[in-house]
Amino acid sequence: MVSPERSWWRLSATQTAAIIAFFIAAPQAAAQTPSSAPAAGYLFGGVLLATQGAGRSDCPYLCDPFGGTAWGLAVGAGVGVGTRLAVGAELSRSGALSGSQRLRTGGGTFLPETVHRDTIASLVLRFSPAAAGDSGALVLVGGGGVAFRQTSRTGQIVREFTGELIGPRVERLNDIVPAALGGLDVHIRLSRRSAVVPFARAHYLFDSDRTGDGTVKRGVASFIFRAGVTLEIRF
């Protein structure tokens, strides 16, 4: 018969061994499990520079196409669907581009100062050849959505024969057209859940820029390049 003291000693020895084994195994298990698993979702916001060239010219119906570069804003959100792939939505809005134009109108020439801006909303896929949480990871971006094109013209009409000035006249053009994008992100980690992300986007708007009778409508290009930097927060 085993004495109670010996049974207690054996039980204590077993418990002690189990505790020692736990403390030996725990660090090894922690080393095998990433301490900072990729976050499930992300939010971002930042600034950009938007550049687009002059569009088509159709003198004498529409002369003096224009383009340029303007500051803008970009925001977005998404969710990871793996260590290398995420789906999300982006919204970018440029500042105003402006230029002087000439348009033929009934009995004269409209001489407006034209202001134009494009706001683009897109659904995107972001693919990282390296793990998404790696600092300096290059991310490939592609997607599509819609562009809200807003153009405003303000000026006077010059009568063709008399030179009489009529106005001011205000003309507004607002359209929604399909858009596609491709681009790159570079994630520079600040912490486990934050990163600075320089980015570049090339947008193509499926807009013929023609009126119903076939003349040029705006004179602003449908290809837009946008680059900037955002702050991304993961959760």
Q: Are residues 139 and 96 in the same domain?
A: yes
Give the confidence band of 32 by pLDDT, cuts at 50, 70, 90.
Answer: very low
Average pLDDT score over residue span 113-137 = 86
Q: Are residues 206 and 171 in the same domain?
A: yes
pLDDT at residue 34 in the model: 42
Q: Are residues 137 and 213 in the same domain?
A: yes
Q: What does the chain come to in residues?
A: 235
Q: Are residues 80 and 24 in the same domain?
A: no
Q: What is the distance between the terminal CA atoms of the chain, rounded to a whole angstrom? A: 61
Q: Are residues 137 and 169 in the same domain?
A: yes
Average pLDDT across the chain, whole number: 84
Beta bridge partners of 72: 48, 94
In percent, how much of the chain has pLDDT > 90?
64
pLDDT at residue 209 in the model: 92
Q: Are residues 214 and 118 in the same domain?
A: yes
Residue 37 has pLDDT above 90, yes or no: no
Which amino acid, residue 25?
Answer: A
Tokens 């010059």 locate to 158
Q: Are residues 165 and 102 in the same domain?
A: yes
Average pLDDT score over residue span 140-156 = 97
- Give Cβ neighbours of residue 6 (< 8 Å, ≥ 6 apart): none
Our count of domains for the chain comes to 2
Domain containing residue 47? 37-234
Q: Are residues 79 and 11 in the same domain?
A: no
pLDDT at residue 12 in the model: 45
Residue 21 has pLDDT above 60, yes or no: no
What is the phi/psi pair of residue 40, to 5°? -75, -30
Q: Are residues 137 and 49 in the same domain?
A: yes
Q: Are residues 148 and 220 in the same domain?
A: yes
At 223, list the tokens.
């290809």
Q: Are residues 22 and 47 in the same domain?
A: no
- Give Cβ neighbours of residue 169 (< 8 Å, ≥ 6 apart): 110, 112, 153, 154, 155, 156, 157
Q: Are residues 195 and 147 in the same domain?
A: yes
Domain CATH for 143: 2.40.160.20
Residue 62 has pLDDT above 90, yes or no: yes
- Give Cβ neighbours of residue 119 (< 8 Å, ≥ 6 apart): 91, 92, 93, 94, 147, 148, 150
